[in-house]
Structure 1
Amino acid sequence: MRTAQRTYTRIILAITICLLIGFLGAMATASSVSSWYTTLNKPFFTPPNWLFGPVWTLLYVMMGWAAGLIWSRGFHHLWVKSALYAFGIQLLLNGSWSIVFFGLRSPVWALVIIVLLAIMIIVTIRQFRVVNKTAAWLLAPYLAWVAFASALNLAIVLLN
Protein backbone atom coordinates (compact mmCIF):
# COMPACT_ATOMS: atom_id res chain seq x y z
CA MET A 1 0.00 0.00 0.00
CA ARG A 2 1.38 3.40 -0.89
CA THR A 3 2.25 5.84 1.89
CA ALA A 4 -0.55 8.33 1.10
CA GLN A 5 -3.13 5.56 0.84
CA ARG A 6 -1.92 4.05 4.12
CA THR A 7 -2.16 7.46 5.80
CA TYR A 8 -5.73 8.02 4.59
CA THR A 9 -6.74 4.51 5.62
CA ARG A 10 -5.36 5.00 9.12
CA ILE A 11 -7.01 8.40 9.45
CA ILE A 12 -10.38 6.94 8.43
CA LEU A 13 -9.98 4.02 10.85
CA ALA A 14 -8.98 6.33 13.69
CA ILE A 15 -11.94 8.66 12.99
CA THR A 16 -14.25 5.64 12.96
CA ILE A 17 -12.92 4.46 16.34
CA CYS A 18 -13.36 7.93 17.85
CA LEU A 19 -16.89 8.26 16.48
CA LEU A 20 -17.71 4.81 17.87
CA ILE A 21 -16.57 5.90 21.34
CA GLY A 22 -18.68 9.03 20.90
CA PHE A 23 -21.68 6.92 19.90
CA LEU A 24 -21.29 4.75 22.99
CA GLY A 25 -21.11 7.88 25.13
CA ALA A 26 -24.19 9.26 23.41
CA MET A 27 -26.08 6.07 24.25
CA ALA A 28 -25.28 6.59 27.94
CA THR A 29 -26.26 10.25 27.65
CA ALA A 30 -29.59 9.52 25.98
CA SER A 31 -30.78 7.62 29.04
CA SER A 32 -30.69 10.72 31.25
CA VAL A 33 -30.46 13.89 29.17
CA SER A 34 -34.21 14.43 28.91
CA SER A 35 -35.05 13.23 32.41
CA TRP A 36 -32.49 13.38 35.22
CA TYR A 37 -30.30 16.06 33.60
CA THR A 38 -33.25 18.46 33.28
CA THR A 39 -33.76 18.33 37.06
CA LEU A 40 -30.23 19.55 37.81
CA ASN A 41 -29.43 23.15 38.63
CA LYS A 42 -27.08 24.35 35.89
CA PRO A 43 -24.92 27.47 35.60
CA PHE A 44 -25.83 30.40 33.37
CA PHE A 45 -23.17 29.39 30.83
CA THR A 46 -24.72 25.99 30.07
CA PRO A 47 -25.05 25.64 26.29
CA PRO A 48 -28.30 24.37 24.77
CA ASN A 49 -28.53 20.57 24.57
CA TRP A 50 -28.64 20.57 20.76
CA LEU A 51 -25.11 22.04 20.61
CA PHE A 52 -23.34 19.11 22.25
CA GLY A 53 -23.92 16.59 19.43
CA PRO A 54 -22.45 18.68 16.59
CA VAL A 55 -19.53 19.92 18.72
CA TRP A 56 -18.60 16.42 19.89
CA THR A 57 -18.95 14.99 16.39
CA LEU A 58 -16.53 17.59 15.02
CA LEU A 59 -14.14 17.02 17.93
CA TYR A 60 -14.19 13.23 17.44
CA VAL A 61 -13.39 13.69 13.74
CA MET A 62 -10.49 16.00 14.59
CA MET A 63 -9.26 13.58 17.27
CA GLY A 64 -9.37 10.69 14.82
CA TRP A 65 -7.62 12.72 12.15
CA ALA A 66 -4.87 13.58 14.64
CA ALA A 67 -4.47 9.98 15.79
CA GLY A 68 -4.43 8.78 12.18
CA LEU A 69 -1.62 11.19 11.35
CA ILE A 70 0.39 9.83 14.26
CA TRP A 71 -0.40 6.21 13.43
CA SER A 72 0.65 6.77 9.81
CA ARG A 73 4.23 7.33 11.03
CA GLY A 74 4.42 3.62 11.83
CA PHE A 75 3.76 1.89 15.11
CA HIS A 76 7.35 0.65 15.34
CA HIS A 77 8.69 3.98 16.62
CA LEU A 78 8.74 4.50 20.40
CA TRP A 79 7.36 8.05 20.21
CA VAL A 80 4.45 6.90 18.04
CA LYS A 81 3.64 4.08 20.46
CA SER A 82 3.81 6.42 23.47
CA ALA A 83 1.62 9.00 21.76
CA LEU A 84 -0.99 6.44 20.72
CA TYR A 85 -1.06 4.84 24.18
CA ALA A 86 -1.68 8.27 25.71
CA PHE A 87 -4.38 8.87 23.09
CA GLY A 88 -6.02 5.55 23.92
CA ILE A 89 -6.07 6.32 27.63
CA GLN A 90 -7.65 9.72 27.11
CA LEU A 91 -10.18 8.20 24.72
CA LEU A 92 -11.21 5.65 27.36
CA LEU A 93 -11.54 8.45 29.92
CA ASN A 94 -13.61 10.40 27.41
CA GLY A 95 -16.07 7.55 26.99
CA SER A 96 -16.10 6.87 30.72
CA TRP A 97 -17.17 10.43 31.53
CA SER A 98 -20.54 10.08 29.75
CA ILE A 99 -21.19 6.72 31.36
CA VAL A 100 -20.42 8.05 34.84
CA PHE A 101 -22.11 11.46 34.52
CA PHE A 102 -25.26 10.41 32.66
CA GLY A 103 -25.42 6.64 33.02
CA LEU A 104 -24.52 6.45 36.70
CA ARG A 105 -25.78 10.00 37.36
CA SER A 106 -22.69 10.87 39.34
CA PRO A 107 -21.43 14.42 38.62
CA VAL A 108 -18.84 14.19 41.43
CA TRP A 109 -17.11 11.09 40.02
CA ALA A 110 -17.52 12.50 36.51
CA LEU A 111 -15.61 15.58 37.68
CA VAL A 112 -12.72 13.36 38.80
CA ILE A 113 -12.74 11.67 35.39
CA ILE A 114 -12.87 14.91 33.42
CA VAL A 115 -9.92 16.35 35.35
CA LEU A 116 -7.94 13.19 34.57
CA LEU A 117 -9.13 13.47 30.96
CA ALA A 118 -7.86 17.05 30.68
CA ILE A 119 -4.49 15.99 32.07
CA MET A 120 -4.28 13.10 29.60
CA ILE A 121 -5.21 15.39 26.70
CA ILE A 122 -2.31 17.66 27.65
CA VAL A 123 0.01 14.63 27.83
CA THR A 124 -1.29 13.43 24.46
CA ILE A 125 -0.79 16.84 22.84
CA ARG A 126 2.79 16.96 24.14
CA GLN A 127 3.49 13.47 22.81
CA PHE A 128 1.78 14.16 19.48
CA ARG A 129 3.86 17.34 19.05
CA VAL A 130 7.04 15.25 19.02
CA VAL A 131 5.72 13.12 16.14
CA ASN A 132 3.54 15.56 14.17
CA LYS A 133 2.79 19.20 15.07
CA THR A 134 -0.39 19.28 12.97
CA ALA A 135 -1.77 16.34 14.94
CA ALA A 136 -1.03 18.17 18.19
CA TRP A 137 -2.84 21.30 16.99
CA LEU A 138 -5.84 19.25 15.93
CA LEU A 139 -6.34 18.38 19.62
CA ALA A 140 -6.29 22.02 20.81
CA PRO A 141 -10.06 22.61 20.31
CA TYR A 142 -10.73 19.34 22.14
CA LEU A 143 -8.70 20.52 25.13
CA ALA A 144 -10.52 23.86 25.09
CA TRP A 145 -13.93 22.14 25.02
CA VAL A 146 -12.98 19.73 27.81
CA ALA A 147 -11.77 22.69 29.90
CA PHE A 148 -15.17 24.32 29.36
CA ALA A 149 -16.95 21.04 30.12
CA SER A 150 -14.88 20.72 33.30
CA ALA A 151 -16.06 24.14 34.45
CA LEU A 152 -19.64 23.14 33.62
CA ASN A 153 -19.26 19.84 35.49
CA LEU A 154 -17.78 21.63 38.52
CA ALA A 155 -20.60 24.18 38.53
CA ILE A 156 -23.18 21.40 38.42
CA VAL A 157 -21.51 19.71 41.38
CA LEU A 158 -21.50 22.96 43.34
CA LEU A 159 -25.09 23.88 42.44
CA ASN A 160 -26.50 20.47 43.31
Structure 2
Amino acid sequence: MPDLKRTAGLIGWLLLSFAAAAIGAMASVQAAAFYRRLAQPWWAPPASVFGPVWSLLYVLMDIAAWLVWREGGWQRRRGALALFVLQLAVNALWSWLFFGWHRGALAFADIVSLWLLIVATAIGFWRVRPLAGALLLPYLDWVSFAVALNCAVWLLNPLLLG
Protein backbone atom coordinates (compact mmCIF):
# COMPACT_ATOMS: atom_id res chain seq x y z
CA MET A 1 0.00 0.00 0.00
CA PRO A 2 1.55 3.36 -1.00
CA ASP A 3 2.57 5.70 1.82
CA LEU A 4 0.08 8.39 0.77
CA LYS A 5 -2.81 5.93 0.92
CA ARG A 6 -1.67 4.68 4.36
CA THR A 7 -1.40 8.23 5.69
CA ALA A 8 -4.80 9.13 4.25
CA GLY A 9 -6.24 6.00 5.86
CA LEU A 10 -4.92 6.96 9.28
CA ILE A 11 -6.31 10.46 8.88
CA GLY A 12 -9.65 8.96 7.85
CA TRP A 13 -9.87 6.81 10.99
CA LEU A 14 -8.88 9.79 13.14
CA LEU A 15 -11.58 11.92 11.51
CA LEU A 16 -14.21 9.21 11.97
CA SER A 17 -13.45 8.96 15.68
CA PHE A 18 -13.31 12.74 15.97
CA ALA A 19 -16.78 12.90 14.40
CA ALA A 20 -18.13 10.31 16.86
CA ALA A 21 -16.56 12.18 19.78
CA ALA A 22 -18.00 15.47 18.49
CA ILE A 23 -21.49 13.97 18.26
CA GLY A 24 -21.17 12.76 21.85
CA ALA A 25 -19.75 16.11 22.94
CA MET A 26 -22.79 17.94 21.57
CA ALA A 27 -24.83 16.16 24.22
CA SER A 28 -22.29 17.07 26.86
CA VAL A 29 -22.51 20.86 26.55
CA GLN A 30 -24.10 21.09 30.00
CA ALA A 31 -22.32 17.97 31.29
CA ALA A 32 -20.08 19.73 33.82
CA ALA A 33 -22.99 21.36 35.66
CA PHE A 34 -25.10 18.20 35.51
CA TYR A 35 -22.19 15.99 36.63
CA ARG A 36 -21.58 18.21 39.68
CA ARG A 37 -25.21 17.70 40.75
CA LEU A 38 -24.88 13.92 40.73
CA ALA A 39 -24.07 11.95 43.85
CA GLN A 40 -20.90 9.98 43.14
CA PRO A 41 -19.46 6.81 44.63
CA TRP A 42 -16.33 7.41 46.71
CA TRP A 43 -14.19 5.81 44.00
CA ALA A 44 -15.33 8.08 41.15
CA PRO A 45 -12.48 10.00 39.51
CA PRO A 46 -12.66 13.79 39.24
CA ALA A 47 -14.36 15.05 36.09
CA SER A 48 -11.03 16.45 34.85
CA VAL A 49 -9.72 12.89 34.31
CA PHE A 50 -12.21 11.95 31.61
CA GLY A 51 -11.02 14.24 28.78
CA PRO A 52 -7.36 13.17 28.80
CA VAL A 53 -8.25 9.49 29.20
CA TRP A 54 -10.72 9.55 26.31
CA SER A 55 -8.27 11.46 24.11
CA LEU A 56 -5.61 8.80 24.60
CA LEU A 57 -8.11 5.98 24.11
CA TYR A 58 -9.37 7.43 20.83
CA VAL A 59 -5.81 7.63 19.49
CA LEU A 60 -5.17 3.99 20.45
CA MET A 61 -8.50 2.93 18.91
CA ASP A 62 -7.73 4.75 15.67
CA ILE A 63 -4.29 3.22 15.37
CA ALA A 64 -5.85 -0.21 15.94
CA ALA A 65 -8.49 0.36 13.24
CA TRP A 66 -5.85 1.69 10.86
CA LEU A 67 -3.65 -1.37 11.41
CA VAL A 68 -6.57 -3.65 10.56
CA TRP A 69 -7.56 -1.53 7.57
CA ARG A 70 -3.98 -1.76 6.26
CA GLU A 71 -4.37 -5.56 6.14
CA GLY A 72 -6.65 -5.57 3.12
CA GLY A 73 -8.81 -2.48 3.44
CA TRP A 74 -12.55 -2.32 4.00
CA GLN A 75 -13.16 -5.02 1.38
CA ARG A 76 -11.23 -7.77 3.17
CA ARG A 77 -11.72 -6.62 6.77
CA ARG A 78 -15.35 -5.50 6.62
CA GLY A 79 -16.52 -7.54 9.64
CA ALA A 80 -13.93 -6.28 12.12
CA LEU A 81 -14.07 -2.72 10.82
CA ALA A 82 -17.89 -2.66 10.83
CA LEU A 83 -17.81 -3.69 14.51
CA PHE A 84 -15.41 -0.83 15.15
CA VAL A 85 -17.72 1.70 13.47
CA LEU A 86 -20.74 0.30 15.32
CA GLN A 87 -19.03 0.57 18.71
CA LEU A 88 -18.12 4.19 17.89
CA ALA A 89 -21.81 4.94 17.29
CA VAL A 90 -22.86 3.19 20.51
CA ASN A 91 -20.14 5.11 22.35
CA ALA A 92 -21.45 8.45 21.01
CA LEU A 93 -25.02 7.50 21.91
CA TRP A 94 -24.07 7.01 25.57
CA SER A 95 -23.35 10.73 26.01
CA TRP A 96 -26.80 11.58 24.70
CA LEU A 97 -28.52 9.02 26.90
CA PHE A 98 -26.67 10.01 30.07
CA PHE A 99 -25.91 13.72 29.75
CA GLY A 100 -28.39 14.87 27.12
CA TRP A 101 -31.52 12.96 28.04
CA HIS A 102 -30.69 11.89 31.65
CA ARG A 103 -31.75 8.29 31.05
CA GLY A 104 -29.74 6.22 33.52
CA ALA A 105 -31.18 2.80 32.67
CA LEU A 106 -30.79 3.30 28.92
CA ALA A 107 -27.28 4.69 29.38
CA PHE A 108 -26.40 1.62 31.44
CA ALA A 109 -27.83 -0.72 28.77
CA ASP A 110 -25.89 1.23 26.14
CA ILE A 111 -22.57 1.00 27.98
CA VAL A 112 -23.01 -2.73 28.59
CA SER A 113 -23.68 -3.10 24.84
CA LEU A 114 -20.60 -0.99 24.17
CA TRP A 115 -18.51 -3.29 26.38
CA LEU A 116 -19.71 -6.34 24.43
CA LEU A 117 -18.98 -4.63 21.12
CA ILE A 118 -15.47 -3.71 22.28
CA VAL A 119 -14.82 -7.35 23.20
CA ALA A 120 -16.06 -8.48 19.78
CA THR A 121 -14.03 -5.78 18.02
CA ALA A 122 -10.87 -6.62 19.97
CA ILE A 123 -11.24 -10.30 19.07
CA GLY A 124 -11.86 -9.43 15.42
CA PHE A 125 -8.88 -7.10 15.38
CA TRP A 126 -6.68 -9.65 17.18
CA ARG A 127 -7.43 -12.23 14.49
CA VAL A 128 -6.25 -9.83 11.80
CA ARG A 129 -3.34 -8.26 13.66
CA PRO A 130 -2.66 -9.09 17.34
CA LEU A 131 -1.23 -5.64 18.05
CA ALA A 132 -4.48 -4.04 16.88
CA GLY A 133 -6.47 -6.20 19.31
CA ALA A 134 -4.04 -5.40 22.13
CA LEU A 135 -4.39 -1.66 21.47
CA LEU A 136 -8.09 -1.95 22.35
CA LEU A 137 -7.41 -3.46 25.79
CA PRO A 138 -6.96 -0.09 27.59
CA TYR A 139 -10.30 0.96 26.06
CA LEU A 140 -11.91 -2.24 27.31
CA ASP A 141 -10.42 -1.67 30.76
CA TRP A 142 -11.70 1.91 30.90
CA VAL A 143 -15.18 0.96 29.71
CA SER A 144 -15.24 -1.88 32.27
CA PHE A 145 -14.66 0.75 34.94
CA ALA A 146 -17.21 3.05 33.27
CA VAL A 147 -19.86 0.29 33.39
CA ALA A 148 -19.45 0.08 37.16
CA LEU A 149 -19.39 3.87 37.51
CA ASN A 150 -22.47 4.32 35.30
CA CYS A 151 -24.38 1.77 37.36
CA ALA A 152 -23.33 3.30 40.68
CA VAL A 153 -24.18 6.87 39.62
CA TRP A 154 -27.51 5.77 38.18
CA LEU A 155 -28.46 3.94 41.39
CA LEU A 156 -27.33 6.87 43.56
CA ASN A 157 -29.40 9.37 41.52
CA PRO A 158 -32.80 7.86 40.71
CA LEU A 159 -34.52 11.26 40.59
CA LEU A 160 -31.97 12.82 38.23
CA LEU A 161 -31.37 9.73 36.08
CA GLY A 162 -34.86 8.24 36.06
Post-superposition offset of 1:60? 0.9
**Match in the other structure for 2:98:** 101
Partner of residue 87 from structure 2, selected from 87, 90, 94: 90
Q: Deviations over 1:88-144 (max 9, x none)?
A: 111110000011100001121100000000000000001011111111111110000
The aligned runs of 1:119-130 (5 Å cut-off) are 119-130=116-127
Partner of residue 131 from structure 2, selected from 129, 134, 147: 134
**Match in the other structure for 1:27:** 26
Determine the C-alpha separation between the residues in 1 that align with 2:46 and 2:126. 33
Q: Tell me the amino acid that sits aligned with residue 8 of structure 1.
A: T
**Match in the other structure for 2:49:** 51
1:118 paired with 2:115, answer yes
Q: Deviations over 1:17-44 (max 9, x none)?
A: 112211221221122321x222211101
TM-score by length of 2: 0.91
Determine the C-alpha separation between the residues in 2 that align with 1:54 and 1:27. 18
Determine the C-alpha separation between the residues in 2 that align with 1:12 and 1:135. 17
1:6–1:72 contact (8 Å) kept in structure 2: no
Residue 41 of structure 2 aligns to a residue whose secondary structure is coil
1:93–1:117 contact (8 Å) kept in structure 2: yes
Q: Say how many residue pairs are matched.
A: 156
1:71 paired with 2:69, answer yes
Residue 115 of structure 1 aligns to a residue whose secondary structure is helix
Partner of residue 38 from structure 1, selected from 36, 39, 44: 36
In angstroms, what is the RMSD of aligned CA positions?
A: 1.3
**Match in the other structure for 2:5:** 6
TM-score by length of 1: 0.92
Residue 32 of structure 2 aligns to a residue whose secondary structure is coil
1:145 paired with 2:158, answer no
The percent identity for this pair of structures is 40
Determine the C-alpha separation between the residues in 1 that align with 2:55 and 2:150. 20
Post-superposition offset of 1:47? 0.9
Determine the C-alpha separation between the residues in 1 that align with 2:27 and 2:110. 15
Note the residue ranges of structure 2 that are not aligned, 5 or more in a row: 158-162
Judge which range, 68-77 or 143-152, deviates more.
68-77
Post-superposition offset of 1:75? 2.1
Determine the C-alpha separation between the residues in 2 that align with 1:113 and 1:104. 13
